[in-house]
Amino acid sequence: MTETLNPDSVTETSSESERPLRADARRNRERILEGARLVFAESGNDAQMDDVARRAGVGVGTVYRHFPTKEALMVELVRQKFRLFAVTAREALECEGEPFDVLAELLRVNAEVAARDAAIQHVLAGAGEHIWAQAQREQEELNALSGALIARAQRAGTMRPDVGPADISMLMCGVCATMAHKGPGFDWRRHLEHGIEMLRAR
């Protein structure tokens, strides 16, 4: 029986390689990131650092001490989301059950996490190559975990042999791009399920 991953149990994680901050500085940084999520959710990539400072309840100078540019703030939001997805991927590797079903459930869980975060939808949709490049380490870690899950499903004969981690990344980016559209026929969950079925071995 396949264990299920619970998206509600997943929380944001901090990079272990970050330099330790004093408790007050760490609290300010967390407030800034939470304020940024709210502002980006409302304004998309038009979000301004002054708005982030007001929402976080700190001075704009404090924001710039932690994140000298809006790009740096966007990079950290992307990094955090990749770390979060890596957490659920590690949990999936520990799940028992049919390997393809485990991977499919992981994609559903990560999509639900993204659906609750309008800020990351805007950031991922608007991030240029310079943003992605600065989150390369986190992407590589996530791709390695995805690759292990893919290989397991391919060995079981339930996933197409030509699928790789980049295919999973493209599928999830496409799904995230549809989340902001609320018009008739725009159902990101249906889009995701179609994508999952395309990965299945025939």
Domains, the chain, with CATH or none: 19-68 (1.10.10.60), 71-202 (1.10.357.10)
d(CA 170, CA 187): 17
Which residues, in sequence order, are bridge partners of residue 159? Answer: 200
What's residue 1's pLDDT?
42
Question: Does position 181 have pLDDT exceeding 80, yes or no?
Answer: no
The type of residue at 157 is G
Instruction: Please state, for a pLDDT cut of 70, what percent of the chain lies above it.
Output: 87
Locate all alpha helices (DSSP H) within the chain, ordered by sequence. 23-43, 49-56, 60-66, 70-93, 99-115, 118-126, 129-134, 136-155, 165-179, 188-199
For the cut 80, the answer to whether the pLDDT of residue 198 exceeds it is yes
DSSP code at position 46: G
Name the more confident of 73 and 19.
73
Q: What is the pLDDT of residues 12-55, one digit of tens each?
A: 444 434 555 688 888 999 999 999 999 988 888 788 999 999 99
Q: What pLDDT does 4 receive? A: 53
Q: What is the mean pLDDT of residues 55-84?
A: 93
Burial of 46 (0-12, 13-18, 19+ CB in 10 A): exposed
Structure tokens at 168: 């999973």
pLDDT in tens, 121-155: 877 766 667 888 888 999 999 999 999 999 999 99
Mean pLDDT of the chain: 87
Residue 182, pLDDT > 60, answer: yes
